[in-house]
Amino acid sequence: MQPLSGLKVLDFSTLLPGPLATLILSEAGADVLKIERPATGDDMRSFPPFVAGESALFALLNRGKRSLALDLKNADAWATIEPLVRTADVLVEQFRPGVMARLGLDCDRLTAINPRLIYCSITGYGQDGPKADTVGHDLTYLAEAGVLAQAKLGAVPPVLAADIAGGAYPAVMNILLALRQRDTSGRGCRLDIAMAEQSLTFAVGGLAELWSTGKSPTPGGWLLTGGSPRYQLYATSDGRWVAAAPLEEKFWQRFCTLIELPAALCNDRLSPEATRAAVARLIAAAPAARWRALFAGEDVSAAVVMSLEEAVADPQIVARGVLAHRLAVAGREMPALPVPVTPGFRQTPGTATAPKLGEKT
């Protein structure tokens, strides 16, 4: 028995944050019914890359769910929605504030017919406040949370941190907390997840400096954003990179010994920039293969930056079965998206599919 077996989830969300949240619930045993627009469905269905015309992104995020195609603006939609709401445990929606109310699906109306319903709204800025109606995406949420200002800018971050760790993950955490509370109270509740404010947590180092000194750290100036030679990316002679993070003194001293850093520069407190430049010269003098071999088995917290192809084939990932679950897309099989659900709470690894639009209508 999976921990969320028997739990019924209505998913009105699209794109990434909500669908990832309901994917996690589904992987733990919940029955997720995805409500989609007729004809086009979730916008993610049109996002590349495609496998025989089907979006691989959509398939990764909606594995194992069911789909109901329904025009929520149609006056007859309520006749379909009402019995689903009566038996649902959780509802997840991702519209801007006020949209669900205009559709006649606001929290007050739905919880009046099902007081046990947990109604989770995921938005950029929350249900109230001066920015509540402002449109945004992952990059703008990180920008307005002060997160991007801590790095030396010039490239778009490759991690959708606000969508995933600021939206999907807090939604799941609070849904589980609400379910636990419901066990005691017998009643559901309203959850208001705002991705921009949740992203403030990622600025923990900058907030510590701001609130202790009254000043924000300079871009790339904090310990863990590039302000120390002990936490840096160093280029190798063959165009690759070493991610060096020997923060603790014992790791740092071993790192210095292995790369043969002059003793006078090992005390990086004297001149952090001089030490950083010296480490950069040493790392740049040899190819990535040398550094990978040198650091192997050593307590130095340093690694060669892997390509995604290397990462998914890494022996550690393979040994732990991280990609054991499979996904079938247009007759082609690929690994399913890894989710933060411990193996003991998931089904035995097997192959599942994402729903065809409206297949459960």
Active site residues: 163
93 Cβ neighbours under 8 A, 6+ residues apart: 12, 13, 18, 100, 105, 119, 120, 121, 122
| Measured distance CA(340)–CA(209) in Å, rounded | 31
| Measured distance CA(80)–CA(212) in Å, rounded | 55
Q: Which long-range contacts (CB under 8 A, 24 or more apart) does 331-337 make?
A: 331/52, 332/51, 332/52, 334/56, 336/60, 336/63, 337/23, 337/60, 337/61, 337/63
* Count of residues in the chain: 361
Which pairing describes strands 54-55 and 50-51: parallel, antiparallel, or unpaired? Answer: antiparallel
Residue 278: Cβ within 10 Å count: 20
Q: In terms of DSSP H, where are the helices of the chain?
A: 17-27, 56-61, 77-87, 99-102, 107-113, 138-144, 161-163, 169-185, 195-198, 204-213, 249-259, 263-266, 272-283, 288-295, 308-312, 315-319
Structure tokens at 302: 């340093």
Residue 101: Cβ within 10 Å count: 13
In 3D space, the residue among 94, 13, 100 whose CA is nearest the CA of residue 61 turns out to be 13
| Measured distance CA(178)–CA(190) in Å, rounded | 9
Instruction: Tally helices (H) and strands (E) across the chain.
Output: 16, 14
Contact present, 90 and 52 (Cβ < 8 Å): no
71 Cβ neighbours under 8 A, 6+ residues apart: 37, 38, 77
Residue 324: Cβ within 10 Å count: 15
